[in-house]
Structure 1
Amino acid sequence: MRKSESELAAPAGHIWIDEASRLTGLTVKTLHNYRYKGIGPPSTNYRRRLVYKLADVEAWIAGQLAPPTVDPERLRESRPPEPRRLPKRP
């Protein structure tokens, strides 16, 4: 009797895409789209199924949660100029 895909064990240190979906909070479709665009965690095929290294998924999640680094000097430069004030009419 053949095991269903959900019963097959992922290779050691790897997880199937459905588990990666649960960990990241993204849908399976979004993970497929991210893989196509090259913006998601690295993945590979194993026995015609998509697998992720657990360490790669955890590192990708940590990278997404890291606060963006903003240089205060550049932030000040990016402010639009103050609006020009017109003189008051007498």
Structure 2
Amino acid sequence: MVRSLMQLDHLEVKQCTRMDAVIMEEGSENVITEEGSEKKIILPYLSQIILESCSDLTSFYVGSSTFQCELLTRFEVLHLLRHSLES
């Protein structure tokens, strides 16, 4: 699915109370391989991420590959509930 998100430039996740992670690596077919053997997930146009009212969120990305967003200039986490801060 990551390959289909290559043009993504803005990501907002709001009021998603049953989500543990926004992006989870689920196998090598989702990984873009760069030169050599290093695996990377690259979203080349993603410039802003906003997470709001996601009480069960524990991670943005879960995986073993490098996650790369070279144009990312804004990452906001808003309205966290106390439950999520204790996790």
Which is bigger in relative contact order (C-alpha 8 A, separation at least 6)?
2
The structure having more radius of gyration, on CA atoms, is: 1
Query: TM-score, normalising length from structure 2?
Result: 0.18
Which structure carries more helix by proportion?
Answer: 1
Higher strand content, 1 or 2: 2
